[in-house]
Structure 1
Amino acid sequence: MLNYIGVMTGAPFPPDEYARLLALAQYEILDTPQEEAFDRITRLAAHLLGTPVAFINFVDQFRQWNKSAYGPGNTTAARRDSVCAWTILQEGPMVIENAHADPRFAHNPMVTGTPHIHMYAGTPLTTPSGHRIGTLCVTDDQPHPLSADDLKSLQDLADLVVSELELRARTVYLNRELQAQTLRNVDLQRGLDQAQVLEGITQLMGLDLTPEETTVAASSLLGEALDADYTGLIVFEDGGVRVRVAHQHPRVPQTTRDLPGQFSDWPLSLTHALRGLQQPLYLDNYPAHPHALKVLVAAGVQQIAWIPLGTHGPTTPLLMAVRLEGSEATRWRSSDRALLEAAGRSVRSALERRQTVTLARQEARRDPLTGALNRRALDEDLARLEGLAQPFTLAGIDLDGLKTINDQHGHGLGDRVLQMFAGSLKTTLDTSAQVFRVGGDEFVVLGRAPETQIRSAVNAAVLAVRQVAPLKGASVGTVRSSEGSGDALLAMADGRMYEVKRGR
C-alpha cells in the first residue's frame, strides 16, 4: 500500500522506466489511428461493468496517450495529469471510488472537467516481459460500486488488449523475417540480429529522451547482441567521470555487478586515460595490459571495448562493453566491431543533431545585442513557470534617458549602455531570475527573486552604467504570479512601471 503526504501533481516513475519505455516503443502503437480491434474491447468493458466511459491509454515518457475511447472525452494528457500513471505502479486493478475526495486527483483536469471522473477503475496492460505500458480503465461521473467479478472482467479484457498488441508485434516481426529468409548461416543470422539491434537504436533516436538516456538505452540494446556481460556509458565531465551501466547479464555475481560503479574511484585506471579517445579501442586480453587494475582482473574482466561518441558541450561520453572470463566469445569479432561502430555512429550523429538543434534554439532565444533572452524566450519561460504552479516574480523595467544618450552621444554609446545594463543585471541576479530584453530600452526580469532583490539589482546595474554614460535611472514595475497570468501579467507589470515613470 502506498502512502501519500499532501497533494501530488503527478505519479512517480516506476523503477523500470527505461525498459518500460523501450517495451512500449517496440509495439509501435503510439500515435496510430483508431482501430476496431481496440474499440471493440472498450465497448465491451463499458457494457460489462455498466459504465458510460471506457478507455485504453498508454503512458509515454511525458504524456498519457489515448488509443481507444468509449464515451465522451479524449484522455490524451500530460503525464503529470494522468490517473493511469498511478495505475501502472501496481500489478492489479486500481479503484478510486470518489476521485473528488482523493488528494491525488481532486484537482485533476479529468476530474474537474470532461469526462468528470467520480469513480475510476483501471488495470495495467502488462507485457509478457512484465512491463506495465498502459491501462484499460472505466470511469463514471457518479458513484458506481464494482464487484470482484467486475474487476476480474476488467483484468480479462486488459489481457485481450495485450494479446492484440502481441499479435501486432508478431505480425511485424514475421514480415521482417520474410525479408531475411535467405540469411541462414551463422554469420548472416548474426548480421540480421545486429541489424535488428541497430533498428531498435534508430527507433530510440526518435524518442523524447535526454542525450544521456538515449545513449544508455542504446547500450542496453547492444548487450545481448554482443554476448557482453556489461554494457554502459562512461561520461567524462568537468567534475570527473561517471559510469552508468545499461546491461548486466543475469549470470554475473553481485560482487562483480558492483564494479562498474567504482570506476570513478580509480584515477590511475586505463579508463581515465581515454577522455581524448578518437578511434574505437578493443582489448581482447585486458589482464595483459600494463595498466590493468588488479581488482578488475580478479573480478574476471577479460575483454573491454570503448567507442568514442564525441564531445558535446561539457561532456565526453564513451560506449563501453565488457566480457568476463569464460565468455563464449573469446575475442571482439569483426561483426561485433561492426555493430559497435555502427551503433556509435548512429548515436554520435543523433547527439550532434540534438546539439545543433539545441544551439539553434538557444540562439533563437537570445537578443544579439545584449546577450539577454528575447521576447520569444519570455513567452516560453513564462508559460513553463506557470505550468509548474510555483510562485515567481515578474518585473518590467524601462531605462530612463536612453534616448537622450543616443541623441547627444550617438547610438554606439546607447548600445553600450544596453549591454552593460543587461550584463550587470544578469550577474547580480545570478540563477535566481532570468533577464529578457523585450524592446529598445525595455527589459523584463522573471524568476524566484523577490521584488527587493530585483530592485537592488536594477540599482546596481544603473550605477554600473553611469560609469560610462549619464543614464538617469530605470523605472521598475513588479507583479507576483498570483496576480494574473500570461499577457495580463505582463500588462500589469508594464502599467506599474509606467506609473513609476510618470511619477519621475
Structure 2
Amino acid sequence: MQPVHEWHAAPLPAEEAKRLRLLRRLDLLDTPQEEVFDRATRVVAELLQVPIALISLVDENRQWFKSRVGLDVCETARDVSFCAHAVHSERLLLVEDTHADARFAGNPLVTGAPHVRFYAGVPLRSSHGPVLGTLCAIDTRPRTLSASAQAALCDLAATVEREIVQREAARETRQMQEVDRRKLRLSETRFHTIFEQTPTGKAIVALDGRFVEVNPKLCEITGYSADELVSMTFQQITEKADLPTDLRHVAELLDGTRKTYTLEKRYRRRDGEPVWIELSVALIRDDRNRPLHFVSVMHDITSRKHSEQVLRDYRQELERRVLERTCELTSSRATLQTITDNLPVLIAHVDAGLRYRFNNQVYREVFGVEPSALRGTHVREVIGLATFERCLPYFRRVLAGERVSHEDIVYEGAPSRIWNATYIPEFQRDEVVGFYIMSQDITETKHRENQMRSEVMLDALTGLPNRRALAEQLALCIDAARDDAVPFALFFMDLDGFKSVNDQHGHDAGDALLRQVAARLKKTTRAGDLVCRLAGDEFVLLARGISSSSACSRIAQDICRAIGRPFALGEAEALLGTSVGIAMCAGGYDTSAEAILGDADRAMYEAKRKGRNGFRFASVMADAAPAVNNYLEAHRHEAVSH
C-alpha cells in the first residue's frame, strides 16, 4: 500500500465560543502538574500498556497537556491534534491504525515524532455540556482495544471528568459568593446613605425600646446627641399620654397581629419642649421568623399640628360667636337672617324631626333654593339620599346631646365642593329639641392636602410614583386578589450597564438617563399599569388583570426591547439592558407586599445570573415557574433578542 500524505484538521464544534469560555473560566490551562491528574495517566499507561497517555485540553489554537506520560512536549498545534477530533465524539474516538484512516495518515504526528499509529481518546465534558478535552492513550504501533479495556478507559475518564466538574462547581460557588458579597456591600452602602442623609428621622430600635442606631435628623428633631439617644429608650422621650397607644401597637407587631403601624405622637425634646412626629414602625424578623429589632421613621409634623390647632381654634371661635349671636338674636329673625346671610358658611336650624326651621342665604348659592322655601322641608330632600345616609349617624349623636363635627361632606347639589359641618344641640329644659348646623367650604384646603400628598408619593427625579405609592397600590392589589380573585403581576427591573454609564458620563447624565428610562417604561406599558422607581436604577411595574405567564412574557420582552434601544446622551449614545424578575399573584393566593417584592427581586437577580437583559419568573408561581424558566433557559437567545 502506498503511504497517504493527506490529513484533515478537525472542524470547530457548534458551541465553540461557549466551550472556550468554559475552558478558560476553569483556570486549568498552563498550570503545574497535579497528582490527581497524573495518577489517571499513569494508570492508563499501565492498564493499556501504551507508551503515551495524556490529559489534553483543547484551546483555541493548541492542545495543552495537563498531564502526560511518555511525551516531553507540553502542547501541540490544534490543527494536528487527534483530541480536536475527539471533541466531537459522544463516548470514545478509537483509531486502531492511523495509516489506514484518511483523517490522520498524513498528520505530522503520524509521519514524524512521536509516530502515532494507535489512538483512543475519551471526551471530558464540562458540567454545562461542551467537551473541554480528552483522556487519551497513544501507541506507536497499530493495535485493537477490547470492549473491557474500552470500558476501563471510559471509567478512568469519568473520574477525571468528575474532578473537572467539581472544580467548576467550586469556582462558580466562589464567584456567586463574591457576587453576593458585592451585593451585600452595595445594599449596606445604600442603606447607610438612606439612613444618614434622608430628611426624616430614622432609628433602629431594640425589642426593649432602646435606641441602637439613630441618624442626624432624629438628633435634630429631639435635641439629643446620638451618644445620648443610644443610651435611652423611646419610652423615655415619648410624652406619657401618648405612650400607651404606642406600646399597644408594639405588642401587636411582636405577636404578629400587624406588620407595621403609623401614628402621630409627641416626643419630649431635651430642652423639655414637646415635638409632634408622625411615626412609622416595622418589625424586622430573622429567617426563622424570630423578632430582631424595629425600624422606625419619624417626620416632624409640629408645624402641621400647630396649623391644625389654629384652624380648630378658629372654627370653634367662629362657631361660638355664631351661636352666641344666634341665641342673642332669636327674637329678631330678620336681624338673624341679615347677619347669617353675610357669613360665608351654611347655617341652618333643624328640629328634632330633621326638618329645617331656618336657613341662611348661602343655601341659595349652593342648592339653588330660596331659604324661606326650605322651612318645614326634611333635610333628606335638600341634601340628597346618599349624603343623608352618611350624615344620619351624626344627626343621631347630636340629637342625643353631643356636639359633633363631620368632615369630607359632598352635597349632591354641589358635587365639586367639600364641606366640614359642625352640629350643635339645642337644649330646652335639659331636653334636645333640635340642633344648629354650620358647614364650612374646605374644598381648597382639601385640594392643597391632596396636592401635598401627591408630591410625597412621587419620585423627585423621574416623576414616577415612588416606593410609598407602590406600597399603597400593592396592598390594594393583594386585597383584591385575595377577596375578589383579581390577578396581577409584579415586574422588578434593574438596569444592566447603568453604573458604567454613570461613572463614565457623570451623575447629571445618569439622572437624565433615568428620566429617559422612566419615559420609555411609561410609553411601553398600559395606561392603567403602575410604573414606579424604587431607588437608584431599580424600577417596578405593577400590572393588574394579568393572569397568564405568556402575557407576562410579552410584557417583559417589550420592556427589554424598549430599554435595549440606544439612549441619547448629548452627542453620545448609551446602551443599557434590563434584568426583569416577574412575580404573579392569582385569586385566592395569600401573600404580602414584602414577600411578592422579595420574590420578584430574587427572580431579577436570577435573570442577571442567566445573562442579563432578560427575564425570569419567581418561584411564587408554584408549579408553573419551573416549566416557564426551563423554557426560557432553552430559548435564552430568543428571549433576550426579543
User: With structure 2 as the length reference, what TM-score do the two structures score?
Assistant: 0.32
Relative to its length, the structure with more strand (as a share) is 2
Pair member with larger Rg: 2
